[in-house]
Every structure is written in C-alpha cells, then in structure tokens.
Amino acid sequence: MCGIVGAVQTHGNVVPAVLAGLKTLEYRGYDSAGLAVMTPHGIQVRRKSGKLSALEAELAQNGVPPSSQALAHTRWATHGAPTDRNAHPHCDDRGEVVVVHNGIIENYAELHGMLAAQGHAFSSETDTEVLAHLIAHFHRNGDDLHSATRKAMALAHGAYAVVVISAREPGTMVAARLESPVVIGVGEHGRYVASGIPALLNLTRDFLVLENGESARLTPTGHEIYDARGQRVERAPFRCEWTPEQAEKGGYAHFMLKEIEEQPDVLARTAFDRLRDPEGDVAFEDEFGLDDAALRGFRRLRFMAMGTSFHAALLGQMLLAELARLPGETLNASEFLYSARLPEEDSLTVIVSQSGETADSLRAMREVQARGGRTLGICNVRGSTLAREARHLVLTHCGPEVGVASTKAFFGQVAALYMLAVRVGRARGTLSREQGQARLLDLRKLRPMLDPLFESDAKQAVEAAADLLVPVRSCLYLGRGLQLPVALEGALKLKEISYIHAEGYPAGEMKHGPIALIDPSFPVVAIATPGRSYDKMISNIQEVKARQGRVIAVAARGDRKVAALADAVLPVPEVAELLAPLANVIPLQQLAYTVALRLGRDIDQPRNLAKSVTVE
Ligand code: M6R
C-alpha cells in the first residue's frame, strides 16, 4: 500500500510529471498525499489529508517552485490517523532529510525512544518520521545520503520501500527496499523511482526492479545498485511494453468501467498467441519452465491467493481437476501458515495474484519454497515480486489494472488457469489432441460471444437488476459448482464498491441457514446458466420465491423458464460450460458498478481499501 514517485533530472521542471505519476498510484492508498521539491534554498514540502486532489488544490494556492528533483507520496495509513501532519513526506527536525515510505517499521517505538533521548523532536505520529531522524543522525555525522540510509535501514525492522533526498546532497536520490516494491526508471535525462511501473510511463519505458534488501543511489545521469552487504550489483534495464494510455481512463467515467469493457481484449491478449490449435495444446513462454515430464510428476495441486484472485484460484482448482484429473485444494494464502505441514515433493503450488505484491500471497509462496515445494505464479505484473520469486511463471497480459475492484485481472487469471488445465491435461494424457483442440476452439469462440454483454439491452437489464439492490442493506449470491466462485466474486464486487453487505454462498447451503433471512428486502442473485447445476439452481430460485424473496438471475439469453421465475434477469451468452464463469462474471461486475454509481460511491477508490495489500 502507499504510492511513491521520485525523480531527479539534469534539467527541466519535473514536478508536473511526478504528480501525474502519483495520480496513477492513487489506487494504492488515498487518505493523504504530499510532495517535496529541491530548491537552491533547501527542500520545500507540502502535505494534505484526503485525496491527491486536495494536495493539488493546496499546490494551486500555495505552490512550489519548479524543480528538477521531486518526491511524492500517496498514503494508506498504518501508524497515525490520516491528517496533514501524518502525511508523507516526513523530515528530520532541521528539514534537511526528507523521506517517503511504504510499509511498516515494526520497532519504531524503540527507535523513537532512542532518538527522543538524544534530543530529536517529532512532529507526527508515524513510524516513517523516525526514519527521517535516524537517517539525518548518520548523515550529520559524516555519512553520505546512501550510507546514512543503509545504516538507518539496518536498524529498522519490518517492511519498507523508502526514498530519501537531502538538502545536503542535492541531485541525489536514495531508494531502499525490503518487501515493498521499488522500480527504478532509466531515462535519457534523469533517473526515476516509484512503487509501480505505471507511475513512470510518462517519463521512461526502461526499468530496473530493486530486489529485497537492495538499495540504490540515483543521480540525473546514473544509478548504482547495492545488495544487502553493500556490494555493487550490475543489472540491465528491461523495456516495458505497457503504454501510458493503458494506465489512463481513456474517456471512461471510471477505471473499473474501462477495465470491465476491456475483458474481451484481455482474452485475446492472455490467450490467443499461446494456443497451438493443430496440437490441441498451449505453449507458455520460457518462464513457465515446466515440461511434460515435470507436469506428469505432480500428484497434487495447491492453489493460494487472496480476494478476487482467490476466487480465480478456486476455479483453477476445478478446471485442473476436470481437464487434467489432478486433485487439489485452494487456501487463502493468509491461512497457509496455520495449516498442517504436508510433504511437498509431488505437489505444485499455484499462487495467483494480479499485482504480484500481495504480502499474504508472497509469504505463503516463500513458506512453500522454504519447505522444498515448487511454486508457479499466475501474475499480471512482470518484474513484480511474485513474478521474480516464483519458480515458474505464467503472465496474464491484462495490461495495468487501476480500479481497486479487480475485474479484468480475474478474467485474465481464469483464462490463464483454463489454458494451464489444457496444458497439464495434454502433458498427462487426460486430454487427447482432439479433446485439446475442442477446448481451444471453445476459448477462441468465446470472444465474439461476449459482445452482446456490452450492448444496450444488456445494460438495460443491469439497470433493472440494480433497481432491486440499490434500496437494500444486504443480499445473497448463490451458485453451484463452477458458478460458486462466480457467486463469491459477484458478492465481493458488490460489497467492496457499494458497501451493501453481500454474501456469496454455495446454493446447496441455502436451506441450512441463510434461508431464514429471505424476505422481500433480502434479494438473492442466483447463477442459473445451462450445465450440471441448472436444475438444482431452478429449485433454489423456486424456494426463494416461495418465501416472497426477490431474485436476480444470471441466465442464458432466451431462457424462458428462469425468466418466468425471476424478478430480473441478467442475460448471458450460452458458452461452453467450463468457460461460463468468464461470461457470467461480467454482468455481476456491471451490476456492482451500476449499484455503486447510483449510490454515489467512490468506485475506483472505495473507502478503507487499497489496490495492492502489501502488509499482512
Ligand atoms: O494483487 P492481488 O491479486 O494479489 O490482490 C488480491 C486482493 O487484494 C484483491 O483481489 C482484492 O480483493 C480486490 N480489491 C478485489 O476486487
């Protein structure tokens, strides 16, 4: 959580670009923001509680001078309330050393006590301010900024990405990383630093990623990277294929809406280049690194993830069981540490994460690896921690996802897991070439079949369904089999952006408790598309109706049986059963969006949330 952007250039005013970059990171935290600029007379800092727009308003009134060196931050509070005073950047008591920080300093109370005893006076309640004082302490005693930062970070416990500038050393920017991500941009006229690539796309397309424990000294014309022992590390930049436009709204009211509508293209980007239709197989890139023999060697699968990615992981488990006949389990990554230690030799653990920076998922991955297990990451961000540390990797190629409510990333993950199931099924011989070809054809046919979901009659159906949800406090989403993860995901989407309580449930469980809640003010969203669960879902809908409950059904276009029972229908195309989750989730995303819009919620930045949850 928290977003960092910093820049140091040979010339020119870099402040507007830094603020524009910060805007693309606002999804990481948005309770306060701040900016520091280097001037010939020292460092000027502006900080404001609230969103970046509040800081922009402050800057419009009380601006900063143009500068070729600037550092900015958007915050998701851990220590200290979201006030002006607690906003980053933080300075030492002489205003010489300025720090922004993403993460938590666990021993900050101890460090605070030590520095206070030496006469340091603090002006905020944050753990970060302690770092500014600690770095200043070493810097004043003769260490250059990089050395002072390294000494300070050696004393700090916890997780961090920090970027530091000093009025004593203008033209230098120091970054250090432990757990929280840091990328370095390499430009013709400067060096840049941020917590995510999208923030720097308007400045450069060439990037380096700092590894855990590393630090960097950046100047307008160069960068030096050091490992945890202080040894120089040589690393070549990589070129990022994302464009600045992909990280912008492109005329849509919200990123979430843009990202929902991008999903047919995500299918093409994630899948189509990888399909080997004549062989009925899938070819992942080199980083996948698992050949047929390795895939035949696994006896069990384990899937781990959090939030929306957890729902994709549940589908992955089902798809792998179905197509590759491999048993598996799916765990919340945060629960893994408390689970029994099982032998890892013949298991593959699949970690699913859009950002590749979710602390719970990374912790679980490292624990599996420490126990000798093999890990495969399914991830959307090249260069992220998961992408670098997982032993094997499939990238989802969804492009940057900015809306806090994940939509296209789920779609890309499920598409990738479907392809993984085909790949493993082909390697293990549970799918013949013809069967593989048929599965790939289903995937190719899906894309045009999704188009009607974005046409006006589908949007009208979503509006009519939203009429039933806007007035209520609570509701239930039901699904069975492959549609259960879709129900869970639909409920998560609604609750996180509309703040209406929504519970996803296996439909068979309804009679075992939740049915007691059913009345006209407690609607049920039921996924009743063709397939193995259809008849039982019809029975569930009838049971709800018999108790004066109101039903919104996701059903195949033209399904008269469902239409006769339900109060509102979200029509979907009739696609191959294993791919139905990809079609069915779209109207549920649209429904959540529409309800939240009608309720006037902050759709792209819902309260209390952050896009990338980098603390456990
Ligand atoms: O980046 P990840 O996929 O690891 O993120 C996991 C969750 O934090 C994320 O899916 C979260 O639940 C979203 N807000 C859901 O919309």
Secondary structure string (H, E, C) spanning 221-239:
CEEEEECCCCCEECCCCEE
| pLDDT reported for residue 323 | 98
Q: For the domain bounded by 3-247, which CATH number is listed?
A: 3.60.20.10
**CA of 361, closest atom in ligand 1:** 4
Query: Any idea which residue has 């229908």 for tokens?
Result: 569
pLDDT over 90 (residue 370): yes
Q: Alpha helix (H) ranges present in 371-432?
A: 385-389, 408-428
3-state SS, residue 35: strand
Q: Which residues pair with 173 in a beta bridge?
A: 218
Which region among 142-156, 335-349, 387-401 has the lowest average model confidence (pLDDT)? 335-349
| pLDDT reported for residue 51 | 83
Is residue 34 a contact partner of residue 48, using CB atoms and an 8 Å limit? yes
pLDDT over 80 (residue 500): yes
Verify whether ligand 1 is closer than 6 Å to residue 483 (CB atom): no
Verify whether ligand 1 is closer than 6 Å to residue 354 (CB atom): yes
2 is catalytic: yes
Count how many residues are written for the chain.
616
283-310 average pLDDT score: 96
Burial classification of residue 3, based on how many CB atoms lie within 10 Å of its CB (0-12 exposed, 13-18 middle, 19 or more buried): buried
In 413-528, DSSP assigns E strands to 474-479, 501-506, 524-527
177-190 average pLDDT score: 92
301-319 average pLDDT score: 98
- CA dihedral for 150, 151, 156, 162, sign (positive or negative): negative
pLDDT digits (tens, 9 = 90+) for 563-587: 999 999 999 999 999 999 999 999 9
240 is catalytic: no
pLDDT over 90 (residue 251): no
pLDDT digits (tens, 9 = 90+) for 581-609: 999 999 999 999 999 999 999 998 888 77
Q: Which residues contact 71 (CB under 8 A, 6 or more apart)?
A: 4, 5, 6, 7, 18, 35, 36, 37, 89, 98, 100, 163, 165, 173
Verify whether ligand 1 is closer than 6 Å to residue 586 (CB atom): no
pLDDT digits (tens, 9 = 90+) for 162-177: 999 999 999 999 999 9
429-456 average pLDDT score: 96
- Identical topology for domains 255-449 and 452-598: yes
486: alpha, beta or left? (left if phi > 0; alpha if psi -120 to 50): alpha
pLDDT over 90 (residue 77): no
Query: What are the structural domain ranges in the chain?
Result: 3-247, 255-449, 452-598
| pLDDT reported for residue 364 | 96
Which region among 78-92, 407-421, 499-513 has the lowest average model confidence (pLDDT)? 78-92
Q: Which residues pair with 127 in a beta bridge?
A: none
- The DSSP H or E segment spanning 241 is none
| pLDDT reported for residue 572 | 98
| pLDDT reported for residue 142 | 94
Question: Which two three-digit tokens encode residue 118?
Answer: 């030496």
Q: Which of 358, 385, 413 should be mutated for ligand 1, with most atoms under 8 A from CB? A: 358
pLDDT over 70 (residue 615): no
> 344 CA to middle of ligand 1, Å?
26
pLDDT over 90 (residue 389): yes
pLDDT over 90 (residue 382): no
20-41 average pLDDT score: 87
Which of 2, 606, 3, 5 shows the shortest CA–CA distance to 307?
606
> 63 CA to middle of ligand 1, Å?
36
Query: Any idea which residue has 């432990």 for tokens?
Result: 178
Q: What is the Cβ-side half-sphere exposure of residue 179, based on CA atoms within 13 angstroms?
A: 23
Q: What band does 23 get if pLDDT is binned at 50, 70 and 90?
A: confident
Exposure string of 468-490, with b = 16+ CB inside 10 Å and e = fewer, is: bbeebeebbbbbbbbbbbbbbbb
Q: Give me the chain's average pLDDT, please.
A: 93
Which region among 99-108, 127-136, 239-248, 270-279 has the lowest average model confidence (pLDDT)? 239-248
- CA dihedral for 342, 344, 345, 350, sign (positive or negative): positive
Alpha carbon nearest to ligand 1 atom 7, residue: 307
What are the strands of the beta sheet with 42-49, ordered from one edge?
42-49, 32-39, 69-75, 3-9, 190-194, 183-186, 206-209, 238-239
Q: What is the DSSP letter of 609?
A: -
Task: Considering only residues 321 and 604, tell me which one the structure prediction assigns the higher pLDDT.
Answer: 321
For domain 452-598, the CATH superfamily is: Glucose-6-phosphate isomerase like protein; domain 1 (3.40.50.10490)
Q: What band does 395 get if pLDDT is binned at 50, 70 and 90?
A: very high
Which region among 180-184, 218-222, 308-312 has the lowest average model confidence (pLDDT)? 180-184
pLDDT over 70 (residue 24): yes
Amino acid letter, 369: Q
Distances, alpha carbon 606 to alpha carbons 51, 165, 335, 401, 593, in Å = 12, 32, 25, 15, 12
pLDDT over 80 (residue 120): yes
**What's the chain's Rg over C-alpha atoms?**
25
Angle ∠(32,36,41) on CA atoms, nearest 5: 150
Alpha carbon nearest to ligand 1 atom 9, residue: 307
- Name the CATH architecture for the domain at 255-449: 3-Layer(aba) Sandwich (3.40)
Verify whether ligand 1 is closer than 6 Å to residue 361 (CB atom): yes
Q: Which residues contact 429 (CB under 8 A, 6 or more apart)?
A: none
502-512 average pLDDT score: 95
| pLDDT reported for residue 1 | 65
499-505 average pLDDT score: 97
3-state SS, residue 194: strand
Q: What band does 31 get if pLDDT is binned at 50, 70 and 90?
A: confident
Distances, alpha carbon 264 to alpha carbons 268, 380, 390, in Å = 7, 16, 28
